[in-house]
Amino acid sequence: MPARKKAKQAAAKKTTRRPAKKTTKKAAKTRATTAAGGIGQAPAGFLLVNMIPQSLSGETNQDSEPHLTVNPANPKMIIGTAFSPNPGGGALGPVYKSLDEGATWTVNAIVPSQAGSLIGTGDITTSFNRTGTKLYGGILRAGTGALTFLRTNVPAFPPMTILNPPGRPSADQPFTHATTVASGAGAGQDRVYIGDNDFAAPGGKTQTIDESLNAAVGPPTPFSSVRVEKRTTVGQDGPQCRPVAHPNGTVYGAFYGWRALTGSFPANTLVITSADVVVVRDDNWGAGGFVNLKEPPPPAGDGLAGVRVVRGISFPFMRNGNAATGQQRIGGTISIAVNPNNSKDVFLAWGASATGSFLTIHVRRSTNAGATWSNDLLVIPKATNAALAINSAGVVGILYQQVVGTGVAQRWVTHLQRSGNGGVTWTDLVLATVPATTPVKTFDPYIGDYDHLVAVGAKFYGIFSANNTPNLANFPNGVVYRRNANFATHTLLNVNNVSPVAPSIDPFFFKV
């Protein structure tokens, strides 16, 4: 066989893609009429990519808990993160970087870490500012676990600068959102909001938004800890705190207020028996302490800042995932998104237990800036990792991962549902349906305690982690691999394109 032909065949083996079907008016009409509960076909422009580059074809890490940010000023530039070690083992942890809108990815070591760390970093989330000149991040640093705020320059991406040296102990799950003031007071200033669960907060009211209203300066960079929990807790709140800002300076936050619990975390029997899902709001970039959204006085409410969208819900807070939960530990899920065209239009998703469901995702909408909320617009059983976003056309999207089946037939199915009519009807796009029993987890969390979805303009961009077996049946709307893989034999291959590599958990990027 001529060498050229041989090389062409080898290339076909390692990168297999089923192209997205072209959208026709007829097809679009069909989808619209079958949207409620129907499985959508991938529209034109849909792309799903395994983010591991070719040079790391031999890696078998559990690259879970992914997050994503898209440069609003240049959507071709995207940064992804996950529990990935530095492949080279140096003193910096990696980010995944794309400069071609997600078609190809490099792994770039720029995150302060610890040499030789097998995890690269603890929890990590990043966000570009609105002008796309800076990348911000919040991490739990490998080695120390310290809550650490980061910044680097774009597009050079030198190693990230620590904005709060040496970091802060006893906090959890930093969730980063950054933007830039477009006009008026503070124009040009970067505003950074990092939601976290700060165990050092007084009185057990641990829900915190660490904010900087001028984050491009320093270090020292001015950060302040805003305690957004105003009610009595069981001693602490849950780990999730999700901030999101509208360009007009309205900033929302959503979290679980823990009110009662039973069982034992070390024994993996802990259940949060009563929690509130709370939404807070600040109308001046967070400068007012997130007290602009208050409940009415008794008896209708308690008059405190932060509206309790639901009260008294229950869910497990697991130390370890198990067979029933697809190896993933369960501990709640929360996401909030604001319509870029209307700061009063907000969608909220959260998880709570239900009969026969370890966690059921609920989606509701507020059209009056969080004061009152709709009934459930979506109810999704046995699911977690809800991530909401709203695009420039007002279409809301929700990414989530759902356990289906039991035993060896059990699968993690990753969905993107979208609604263009305020959540009345939804179109479902299945991104991946992969075995939930393989590979066996090497640590908790198996697929991550969150994934992420963002909207820039009319497009949705997302990231999730899943079993990476190269099998097109697992990716019903197509997938692209850059790492070496043989889709005919469902085998991953090492950098020599010959030696087989065991399946593992990889991050996947998509856009639509």
Partner 1 sequence: MPTKTNADSEEARFVFKGTVQKLKAATMSEISADQRTAIVRVDEVIHAPEVLSQYAGQNITVIMGGKKKLRKGQQSVFYSNGVLFGDSVAVEAVDYHEIEKMPAAMAAAGADPVKNLAHRDLQRRYDSADVVLSGRVVAVRMPSDVVAAFASSTAADASPIGPISEHNPDWRISEIQVEQVHKGSHKSKTAEIRFPSSTDVMWHEAPKFHTGQEGFFILHKSSRVEKAARSAPTDAGEYVAFDPADYQPFDEADGIRNLVGS
Q: Of 397, 398, 364, 405, which is closest to residue 384 (Cα–Cα)? A: 398
* 54 vs 161, beta carbon nearer partner 1: 54
Q: Return all residues near 396 (Cβ < 8 A) that are at least 6 apart.
A: 337, 347, 365, 388, 389, 390, 418, 419, 422, 423
* 58 vs 420, beta carbon nearer partner 1: 58
Closest CB 126 distance from partner 1, rounded Å: 17
Closest CB 6 distance from partner 1, rounded Å: 19
Closest CB 45 distance from partner 1, rounded Å: 24
* 3 vs 498, beta carbon nearer partner 1: 498
CA distance 366 to 348: 8
* 262 vs 406, beta carbon nearer partner 1: 262
Site residues for partner 1 per CB under 8 A: 53-56, 58-59, 64-65, 83, 86-92, 94, 99, 104-109, 115-116, 118-119, 122, 140, 142, 144-145, 169-170, 172, 197, 199, 234-236, 239, 261-267, 270, 317, 319-320, 329, 331, 441-445, 449, 482, 494-496, 499
* 189 vs 314, beta carbon nearer partner 1: 314
* 227 vs 344, beta carbon nearer partner 1: 227
DSSP state of 168: B
DSSP state of 294: B
Residue whose tokens read 């904010």: 211
Closest CB 494 distance from partner 1, rounded Å: 6
* 73 vs 234, beta carbon nearer partner 1: 234
Closest CB 449 distance from partner 1, rounded Å: 7
Exposure on the CB side of residue 314, measured as CA atoms within 13 A: 11
Long-range contacts: 218-223, Cβ < 8 Å, 24+? 218/163, 219/161, 219/162, 219/163, 219/164, 219/165, 220/163, 220/164, 221/149, 221/151, 221/163, 221/164, 223/149, 223/163, 223/164
* 179 vs 353, beta carbon nearer partner 1: 353
Closest CB 199 distance from partner 1, rounded Å: 4
Closest CB 172 distance from partner 1, rounded Å: 5
Long-range contacts: 273-276, Cβ < 8 Å, 24+? 273/314, 274/311, 274/312, 274/313, 274/314, 275/238, 275/312, 275/313, 275/314, 275/315, 275/332, 275/352, 276/231, 276/308, 276/309, 276/310, 276/311, 276/312, 276/313
Closest CB 332 distance from partner 1, rounded Å: 11
Q: Of 358, 331, 250, 282, which is closest to residue 65 (Cα–Cα)? A: 331
Number of Cβ atoms within 10 Å of the Cβ of 495:
15
Closest CB 309 distance from partner 1, rounded Å: 23
* 142 vs 181, beta carbon nearer partner 1: 142
| Contact of 424 with 399, CB cutoff 8 Å | no
Q: Of 206, 222, 219, 126, which is closest to residue 174 (Cα–Cα)? A: 126
